[in-house]
Structure 1
Amino acid sequence: MTEDDLRQRLRSAADAHRPDRARMLARVERGMHERPASDEPGRRPAVGWVRIAGITAGVVGALAVGGFAVGSALRSDPAPRQQQVAVSPAPSSSLWADGSVDPGSNAYWAQSNVTFKTKSELTALTVELRVAQTGKVNSTGHWRSLPASDFTESVTERGGFLVYRWVLRAGRTVPVGEHVFAGQYNHAEGGRDASADRYAVSGRDGGGQRVSVGGDFA
């Protein structure tokens, strides 16, 4: 049975009930004039009054309960549903980068790679690789996957780091895609710890928006 069917049946039952007032009063009056059949006066009238009071209370109670049920059914409304609002994730950056030690490195020499991807053409770009001085670190060269003529390049020692720096020349652009910049160096014999090395890539896209990303080699 649906909720609408229940409401309709309760409303019909309430509308159909019409208490017979005259009949009820007649029963009350008849009870008041009844005489006890036994020698114990007053017992049967008392029973009659109890019976009448019980009937009256039952009728009133039934009407009250029925009215309450009908009212409740008619007034009950389903609780409003809460609507979930989806929150759109923040847009990802147009520039991604990663630093790694080249697998061709050995116990005396290493190459550190800065790989970055851009989703838009760049009109300005600076790439910096900082190799921590862990012992006998000195540059043996560097290269990049983009044309050498598009960049000015420098290698310096500063603050305990060997610093490789590439800067895009004015009027040149970096196309959409993946690009690599690498620094090569000797180091003290043995496995070199690159956890202190750092890299940074920054620039400006065609719309003039600045973009940047950086990290380590851990």
Structure 2
Amino acid sequence: MDDELRQRLQDAARAHHPDRERMLARVERGMSQGGPARAGRVLRPLRAPMPWLRVVGATVAVCGVLAVGTLAVTSALHDDGGGQRVAGAASPSTAAPEQGSALPTEDGPLWSDGSVNSNSNRYWAQSEVTVKTGKALSALTVELRIALTGGVNTTGSWRSLPVEDFTASAREEGGFLVYRWTLKPGRTVPVGTHTFAGQYNHAEGARDAKGDDYTARARAFGQQAAVGGDFGPAH
């Protein structure tokens, strides 16, 4: 290329003035019509929900199911009266123990008596069950029931037989303070007369023991015996 042609091209380039306003108008027109790319801006597809949003949604759904299940179980555990029932196997009914006044005072090798100790006073008393046996006993349960009249509460108990031979308890049951002595397995009660005593406080004054009773049930190596009664005057 000679120098004259090069000079002409340079003069033409310097003389060219682009129409800037027209170019901007074309760009704006293209952007308003949309498209995959405009003025260097790339349109990206919508992304899937972030993982934590999926976890939150699943948690909310599980909580809803648990809430409905809990409501159903709670409703099933209440009866029409608003009380709560506990599901489970029904336990067999047990008859109330026979009261002492319905039993004889003597049966087979056993003889019995109930009395209030003469040392009892206006605030405290000791009721005693005396058991006499003509045979050695392989099993024996003595029960002393003190009616829960005013102020009655236990202050202790004792027996004339060895303490280690018996399991003893004192508790309130069905309107009575109940003392119970049970011979331990493998132990025996020898022939003779034996005493079981329950001690208790009561309201001030002379206490009437007519509501009290006792029972003694025994086995003399195969022979069953049961005695009982109420309480006579102090002696």
Which TM bucket (shorter chain)? 0.5 to 0.7
AA of the residue aligned to 1:214: G
Query: For residue 199 of structure 1, what is the aligned residue in structure 2?
Result: 214
Deviations 1:94-122 (A, max 9, x none): 10000000000000000000001000000
Query: For residue 171 of structure 1, what is the aligned residue in structure 2?
Result: 186
TM-score (norm 2): 0.53
Identical counterparts, % of pairs: 65
Q: Which has the higher helix share?
A: 1
Q: For 2:138, what is the secondary structure of its paired residue?
A: strand
Cα distance in 2 for residues equivalent to 1:121 and 1:183: 24
Cα distance in 2 for residues equivalent to 1:166 and 1:214: 14
Structure 1 residue 93, shift from structure 2 partner: 2.4
Cα distance in 2 for residues equivalent to 1:92 and 1:216: 16
Cα distance in 2 for residues equivalent to 1:128 and 1:183: 10
TM-score (norm 1): 0.57
Q: State whether structure 2 residue 158 is matched by structure 1 residue 137.
A: no
AA of the residue aligned to 1:154: S
Q: For 2:118, what is the secondary structure of its paired residue?
A: coil
Q: For 1:188, what is the secondary structure of its paired residue?
A: coil
Cα distance in 2 for residues equivalent to 1:92 and 1:114: 15
Cα distance change on mapping 1:159 and 1:92 into 2, 3 Å? closer
Cα distance in 2 for residues equivalent to 1:139 and 1:170: 27
Cα distance change on mapping 1:177 and 1:162 into 2, 3 Å? same
Cα distance in 1 for residues equivalent to 2:108 and 2:150: 36
Q: Who wins on radius of gyration, i.e. which is larger? A: 2
Cα distance in 1 for residues equivalent to 2:131 and 2:139: 14
Unaligned runs of 5+ in 2: 1-105
Q: Residues 107 and 226 of structure 2 are in contact (CA less than 8 Å); yes or no, is this contact kept in structure 1? A: no
Matches within 5 A, 1:88-103: 93-103=108-118
AA of the residue aligned to 2:212: D
Cα distance in 2 for residues equivalent to 1:200 and 1:154: 15
Q: Residues 170 and 177 of structure 2 are in contact (CA less than 8 Å); yes or no, is this contact kept in structure 1? A: yes
Query: For residue 14 of structure 1, what is the aligned residue in structure 2?
Result: none
AA of the residue aligned to 1:178: T
Structure 1 residue 92, shift from structure 2 partner: 6.6
AA of the residue aligned to 2:132: K
How many residue pairs align between the two structures?
127
Q: State whether structure 2 residue 227 is matched by structure 1 residue 213.
A: yes
Q: State whether structure 2 residue 169 is matched by structure 1 residue 154.
A: yes
Unaligned runs of 5+ in 1: 1-90
Q: Residues 107 and 225 of structure 2 are in contact (CA less than 8 Å); yes or no, is this contact kept in structure 1? A: no
Moved over 3 A (4+): none
Cα distance in 1 for residues equivalent to 2:202 and 2:176: 13
Q: Residues 117 and 125 of structure 2 are in contact (CA less than 8 Å); yes or no, is this contact kept in structure 1? A: yes
Query: For residue 3 of structure 1, what is the aligned residue in structure 2?
Result: none
Deviations 1:164-216 (A, max 9, x none): 0000000000000000000000000000000010100001002x111110011
Deviations 1:56-107 (A, max 9, x none): xxxxxxxxxxxxxxxxxxxxxxxxxxxxxxxxxxx97210000000000000
Query: For residue 4 of structure 1, what is the aligned residue in structure 2?
Result: none
